[in-house]
Amino acid sequence: MVADAGRDADSLTESTEPESSVPESATTATNAPVGTVLIVGAGLLGASIGLGLRNLGVDTWLRDASPTAEAVGEDIGAGLSERAWPGQMGDPQLVVVATPPDVTVDLVAAALREFPHAVVTDVASVKGAVLRGLEEAGADLARYVGSHPMAGREKSGPVAARGELFTSMPWVLCSAEQTAPSTRRLVKALAVELGATVTEMSAQEHDDTVALISHLPQVMSSLLASRLQDTALHHLALAGQGLRDTTRIAGSDPGLWVQILSANASSLVPALHGVREDLERLITTLEAPTAPGARLDVAQLIAEGNAGQARIPGKHGGAPKAFAQLTVLVDDIPGTIAHLLTFIGEIGINLEDLRLDHSPGQPVGLAEVSVEPNRRDELVEALTANGWKVVQ
């Protein structure tokens, strides 16, 4: 156990962490954490953190308002249930609060009071509101640093947890002015040990960023999907992959997003104003689509979208790289996709991306494969020669 966070909080790993704010990969840490970690909240993120730490041999405990969630977390190996083993935990070195945003401030403040020698972090998706709440509560901010692992799944709860959930994923640290360097290093080491890539920024910069790259897409997807509520099912049967892509995240938990959007409203509203301006511009143009300049205005709007989309980093980071696509007809039977991927690998071509689309009412699907442009023709020839049907 670590008795003094101000002196020893950076001993989560035995290696020395650099002070750089440059994103840092998981390969920089070489030693497993030491000391006890308490995770408050045994949902997807909390249980996944627990699984990752337990895989590293860390003494990990779980606390959750739901006895069932806490018990399930223990059953899957994410940590010991504090409720099932009363008085056994001792003093933790680190407390990770992994709860919904509306209770995060209270639970972080409570953890700082209950464990006066522990470092405390939270993994809520909004950081400014949490920091302001803790400042108003007079919490000991020297032992607190907000963090946000940019990882998740379409499922929730401890049964969906995965120890490798954070591997190669961004994990943002948002230190306060009062945050002790040892506090920051400990939480940074936590993220690195779990395989994440660490980026550091202020709470305000974080909230402004996620408003644009995460919260606005959720709103736009939900608004689009809401237009489908009264659409005839035989009309929806005509939908292609574009509609599925743009509405995929519309199936998110309404209760959680009420909290997120409310907490980050001040950062999200300016982005929504920008969208409204673009919509009003487009509506005005399309109300007179043959007027002078109308076609040019529509083209400019689409081109602006092209420019924005092109700035999204590719799978290896940096500027996105243009790949060549081809579409392969695949039977909708078990093992067909695996057979296709195996074949592509066996002929020595690296698969850069894969998208699947099913033909409604048909026992076939379409696999859109992305490869290096100079290998496309080679792949088409190989697939065709071996009985695969390339349709594009």
Domain harbouring 340, CATH code: 3.30.70.260
pLDDT at residue number 326: 87
Domain containing 185 — which CATH number? 3.40.50.720
Tell me the residue range of the domain where 329 lies: 324-390
| Same-domain pairing of 253 and 172 | no
Pairwise pLDDT comparison (3 vs 240), residue with the higher score: 240
Q: Residue holding tokens 């006895």?
A: 67
Q: Are residues 211 and 238 in the same domain?
A: yes
Domain membership flag for residue 174: yes
Q: Is the pLDDT of residue 309 over 80?
A: yes
The answer on 226 and 107 residing in a single domain is no
Res 78 pLDDT > 90: yes
Q: Which pLDDT belongs to residue 32? A: 45
Instruction: Identify the pLDDT of residue 16.
Output: 36
- Are 196 and 212 found together in one domain? no
Q: What is the pLDDT of residues 131-187, one digit of tens each?
A: 999 999 999 999 999 999 998 776 778 888 999 999 999 999 999 999 999 999 999
Residue 356 has pLDDT above 90, yes or no: no
**Predicted pLDDT at 302:** 94
Q: How many domains does the chain have?
A: 3
Provide the pLDDT for residue 359.
Answer: 59
Does the pLDDT value for residue 361 go beyond 80? no
Q: Of 152, 170, 201, which one is at a domain's C-terminal end? A: 201
Residue at 221 is within a domain:
yes
Question: Please, what is the average pLDDT of the chain?
Answer: 88
Q: Which residue has the tokens 């696509």?
A: 325
Please tell me the least confidently modeled range out of 99-103, 114-118, 366-370: 366-370
Q: Are residues 162 and 246 in the same domain?
A: no
Closest CA to 392 of 343, 355, 341, 348: 355
0.95 cut: is pTM over it? no
Instruction: Choose the final residue of a domain: 250, 265, 280.
Output: 280
Range 364-378 average pLDDT: 88
User: Could you tell me if residue 307 is inside a domain?
Assistant: no
pLDDT band for position 364 (cuts 50, 70, 90): confident
Looking at the structure, do residues 227 and 196 belong to the same domain, yes or no? no
Q: Is the pLDDT of residue 45 over 80?
A: yes
Residues 107 and 195 in one domain: yes
* Structural domain ending residue among the three candidates 158, 183, 201: 201
Question: What mean pLDDT do residues 61-76 have?
Answer: 96
Tell me: do 168 and 43 sit in the same domain: yes
Least confident of 75-79, 320-324, 335-339, 365-369: 320-324
The length of the chain is 392
Whether residues 224 and 361 share a domain: the answer is no
Nearest to residue 172, comparing CAs of 190, 153, 154?
A: 190
Percent of the chain whose pLDDT exceeds 70? 88
Higher pLDDT, 359 or 236: 236
**Do 41 and 157 share a domain, yes or no?**
yes
User: Do 214 and 360 sit in the same domain of this protein?
Assistant: no
Q: Inform me whether the pLDDT recorded for 201 exceeds 50.
A: yes
Q: Are residues 111 and 152 in the same domain?
A: yes
The pLDDT-based confidence of 363 (bands split at 50, 70, 90) is confident
- Check which CATH number belongs to the domain holding 255 and give it: 1.10.3660.10
Dump the DSSP string for 342-374: HHHHHTT----EEEEEE-TTSSEEEEEEEE-GG
The stretch 354-366 carries a mean pLDDT of 74
pLDDT of residue 323: 85
DSSP per position, 269-306: HHHHHHHHHHHHHHHHHHTSTTSTTHHHHHHHHHHHHH
